[in-house]
Amino acid sequence: MKFVNLKCIAALFVMDCLLFGLMVWYTGEDTETLSNTYIYEGKDMNEKQTKTATEMKKIALTFDDGPNTEYTPVLLDGLKQRNAKVTFFLLGKEVVKSPELAGRIVQEGHLIGNHSFYHDDLSKLSTEEALEQIGRTNEVIYEVTGQYPQFLRPPFGSVNPQLVYEPPMAEVLWTIDSRDWELHDVGTIISNVIPNAEENAIILMHDSSETSIQAAFQIVDALQKEGYCFVTVDEILFD
């Protein structure tokens, strides 16, 4: 919880500094005044920020089926600009093709989960086959990141209750389906998400098309203005 708050505080701090810079520019104050007041504001900010951070609402964006060589880098750039952290449920077969993207996802503070190797319906495979796909995906992710995923999103949201994962993984579905994979229309994707947004919601998206990426950016921009802080799913499920 503390960790989340710190990240939200950092975002607010940057916003405050930008706003203050604009105010100073507008009122035409000189540089000396700026630095003095900046320090004063910094000291004062602890109280102000603690209050604001407890009022932030956490929400999670999740992206399935990547990494995608064309769209994941664009998404990562935009998320960095917006100081938003998200969760990627990766396919083993795509990680093998673009291991550097899986590495970048982790380096930039996002979370990686397992989405199987070939995107097969796990409830329709034998237990042995399903566990083999999951285990193989865990291994390719471990090779790149040095960590085994703690979260699994079964393809199609199709849970197979007979599967016992080793190491243990929590299955993560979603509470809001953007239906981005079939719509390919930025406005409609957004209208599936924003009116349904609420604290601790988990939003399903895919980093596999231009429309998904553009919709994701607009969703982040709009919900941040409404006081939401974008966090990885572990911070929603375990806090």
CB 86 → Ni ion: shortest distance, Å? Answer: 15
Q: In the complex, what is the shortest distance from the CB of residue 5 to Ni ion, in angstroms, rounded to a whole number?
A: 32
Nearest residue (CB) to Ni ion, 53 versus 216: 216
Between 7 and 206, CB nearer to Ni ion: 206
Contacts of 138 (CB under 8 A, 6+ apart): 114, 148, 149, 167
Q: How far is the CB of 89 from Ni ion (least distance, A)?
A: 7
User: Cβ distance 57 to 229 under 8 Å?
Assistant: yes
Query: Which of these is catalytic: 44, 64, 110, 184?
Result: 64
For Ni ion, give the closer residue by CB, 64 or 235.
64
8 Å CB contact between 3 and 231: no
> Length of the chain in residues, anyone?
239
Active site residue 64: yes
Choice among 177, 206, 234, 239 that is catalytic: 206
| Type and span of the H or E element at 89 | strand 87-90
Positions in the binding site for Ni ion (CB under 5 A): 64-65, 155
Q: Least Å distance between CB 153 and Ni ion?
A: 7
> Smallest Cα–Cα separation from 185: which of 214, 219, 217?
214
Query: DSSP 3-state assignment of 149?
Result: coil
Residue 115 falls in the annotated catalytic set: no
Spatial distance between the Cα atoms of 235 and 8, rounded to a whole number of angstroms: 13
| Residues designated as active site | 64, 206
